């Protein structure tokens, strides 16, 4: 944290204010159910979109990857090399 690096009264006060701001922000989210549900819904949609994008990227990668060359088929049965 800032106060551990600078070790001054100003740094300590700034550090305390930062922690208080995060505590206040957390309390606002916990107190406001509508905001919390909106954030949770947004997280679900983003997660779904990330999965969809990953599936699309995998499909595109498969399309642009050249196919492996086919091996020559060997004839079955006996063959003599006599001419």
Has residue 75 been placed in a domain?
Answer: no
**What is the pTM for the complete model shown?**
0.37
Report the pLDDT value the prediction gives residue 1, as an integer from 0 to 100. 54
Look at residue 79 and tell me if it is in a domain: no
Considering its fold, how many domains does the chain have in total?
1
User: Rounded distance, CA 40 to CA 45, Å?
Assistant: 9
Residue 70 lies in a domain: no
Q: Is 16 part of a structural domain of the chain? A: yes
Measured CA to CA, the distance from residue 80 to residue 82 in angstroms comes to 5
Q: Which residue has the tokens 């600078």?
A: 6
Locate 1 and state its tokens.
């944290």
Domain for residue 81, yes or no? no
Q: Is 43 a domain residue?
A: yes
What pLDDT, in 10s, does the model give residues 1-58?
Answer: 555 666 778 888 888 899 999 888 888 877 778 777 887 888 888 777 788 888 888 8
Is residue 80 situated within a structural domain?
A: no
| Tokens encoding 22 | 């995060």
Q: Are 30 and 38 in contact (CB under 8 A)?
A: no
In this predicted structure, what is the pLDDT of residue 20? 93
């Amino acid at each position: 944290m800032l106060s551990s690096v600078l070790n001054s009264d100003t740094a300590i006060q700034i550090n305390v204010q930062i922690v208080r701001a995060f505590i206040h922000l957390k309390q606002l989210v916990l107190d406001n159910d509508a905001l919390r549900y909106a954030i949770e819904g947004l997280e679900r949609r983003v997660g779904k979109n990330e999965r969809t994008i990953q599936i699309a990227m995998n499909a595109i990668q498969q399309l642009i990857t050249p196919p492996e060359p086919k091996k020559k088929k060997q004839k079955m049965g006996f063959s003599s090399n006599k001419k």
